[in-house]
Chain A
Amino acid sequence: MNPPASTPLIEARQLVKRFGDFTAVGGINIEVRPGESFGFLGPNGAGKSSTMRMIGCVSPPTSGDLNIFGLDATRHGKQIRGRMGVVPQLDQLDEQLTVQDNLIVYGRYFDIPRAECKRRAQELLEFVQLTDRADSKIEPLSGGMKRRVSIARSLINEPDLLLLDEPTTGLDPQARHVLWDRLYRLKQQGVTLVLTTHYMDEAEQLCDRLVVMDGGRIVAEGSPNELIREHSPREVLELRYPAGTNEEHAFEVEGIGHRQEALPDRILIYADDGEVALKEVHARGSIPESVLVRRSSLEDVFLKLTGRSLVD
């Protein structure tokens, strides 16, 4: 049974991480409730991974309070790690062992009896659809398969909390969807997920609630829908002009919609109704090479909050 929803699983107050003069995390507050799926969204260097490492109890906070399962992260790291699963950004699988042995030895690090490790390993390999690769070495596996082994391994101790650092970075679209499906099932089983991503679609797919980080700080917080509603009009009109002529054309469409962003490859116009905005563009005699009307996404929220595109 999960504890009452009022008790947060993770609670951070004024959490700071510094490396010498560099402040990676500059005083953030977070609360993650049991069963929730929580995301850290932000570009590289925003402080997501540093935060995850502190939550994972493999990096002591420079200052501030961090409680996980109601335990102080600085003093009870060992106990906390015992109830947590971690999927690192880069797979750290044991290349000298087979897929199945990877899971078994990992369970042994948690003092789980060998026979039980074996039983769970079989079950988990089934869960990540890798039963037929149980006796394979790690090296010949594809990127998506390796990531699935990492996820299976992180579940060997039946964790209450699963940390995933950029779970689908570098995977092809099909592998991503398989992974999302598995994570969604875990969430349905009541596992609390905490993940970092710089993909908006991933955050929209997996997160109940998320924080947007930039430069070591939290710049916005809410559910994906809330964030879009709050920080971006309903629709976006994307205009593409011949390369290098964006600036001239930005003049032609000035003032249309609520707000505009001129990106290197396109101009974005934020409006309640994209079609109406497009009519206005045409009425002014501006002729883009291509146009696209779409719903606002977290990408637009990020652009507004930080003034920068997410994936450079």
Chain B
Amino acid sequence: MSLIDVAPLRIVPPQIRHARRPQRMLERQWMVNRAGGWIIFVTGFFEPLFYLLSIRVGFGALVGDVDDGGTLIPYAEFVAPALMAASAMNGAVYESTMNIFFKMKHEKLYDAVLATPMTSGDVALGEILNATLRGAVYSAAFLVTMGALDMTGSWWSILMLPVAVLIAFSFSAIGMAATTFMRSWADFEYVPAVMLPMFLFSATFYPLSSYGDWAWIVQLSPLYHGVATMRGLNTGDLSWAMLAHVGVLAALAVGGLTFTARRIERLLLP
């Protein structure tokens, strides 16, 4: 009996529990990157640098301190962890939407993979991990840049990295699940249509209290839960609510993964 067959994990469906070779999808990606695909990681590093510089130099000087649930913190320190959460989300979503769609519909990659002992669970888990990895690399670059620009507030901020990985995993899973419904490239117009408002209105740039009566809508955004956790860790101002936020992200991760595996089975193994 493997660890993953333990009772509490029974909520995970058999497609995922019996996945034995998801690492092969990562191995494939490594072979692709070796041949020149690594360039995306370089471009991914400049994004946080530009973001953080613009905040530190520009907004930080204009805005001053922000009241975050009673404590006053410098604006740059307030926004940076939120941008890191958004960066993890972006990296994961780009990889799990456009790239997955290309591999699924045009390259017919997964049809070929599923003709081997690989299963729908291997493909779903492997490709989601793959997108997570991209998000994680972006986040790590982000955290290093934050540290270098002296925008971290406490040692707890190191834990922002695992949380960023969770955010990347959740958004990869949701992104890939959504991609299984895409019929043509035109459908990708919906991706920024969802991502941009989520980026702007997840308490990213101002505290939840400033939304007043509309705060509940903000709390529906998955990114908000990531932002709230990251911000707490950055200031070192921990609370039990952060566990709930992590729980929401974990639930989205498991749900998205399960759903993706089932969709792959329906689409590619009819």
Residues of chain A at the chain B interface (Cβ within 8 Å): 19, 56, 58-60, 78-79, 81-82, 86, 88, 90, 92-98, 101, 104-106, 108-111, 157
B120 smallest CB distance to A (angstroms): 10
Question: Which of A88, A92, A97 counts the most B-chain CB atoms under 10 A from its CB?
Answer: A92
Q: Interface size class for chain B?
A: 20 to 34
In whole Å, how far is B2's beta carbon from the nearest beta carbon of chain A?
16
Of B28-36, B172-180, B219-227, B246-254, the one with at least 4 CB within 8 A of chain A: B28-36
Which residue of A has the minimal Cβ distance to B112? A92
Interface residue from B108, B112, B119, B269 paired with A78 (Cβ < 8 Å): B119
Among B31, B35, B115, B270, the residue within 8 A (CB) of A88 is B115
Chain A residues in 8 Å Cβ range of B268: 58
Complex contact A105–B111 (CB within 8 A): no
Whole-angstrom distance between the alpha carbons of A56 and B108 in the complex? 16
CB atoms of B107 and A96 under 8 A apart: yes
Interface of B, helix, strand, loop or mixed by DSSP: helix
7 A-B pairs besides A78-B119, A94-B109 with CB distance below 8 A are A58-B268, A58-B269, A79-B117, A81-B115, A94-B28, A106-B112, A108-B28
Residues of B within 8 A of A59 (CB): 269-270
| Interface: B113 (CB within 8 A) | yes
Interface string of B26-64 (1 = CB under 8 A from A): 011001100101000000000000000000000000000
Given contacts A95-B107, A97-B35, contact A86 B115 (CB under 8 A): yes
Is B114 located at the chain interface by the 8 A CB criterion? yes
- Lowest 7 CB-CB distances: which A-B pairs, in order? A109-B116, A92-B112, A92-B108, A86-B115, A82-B117, A96-B32, A78-B117
Known contacts A59-B269, A96-B37, A105-B27; is-contact A111 B112 (Cβ 8 Å): no
Tell me the smallest distance from the CB of B243 to a CB of chain A, in Å. Answer: 38
Measured CB to CB, the closest approach of chain A to B84, in angstroms, equals 29
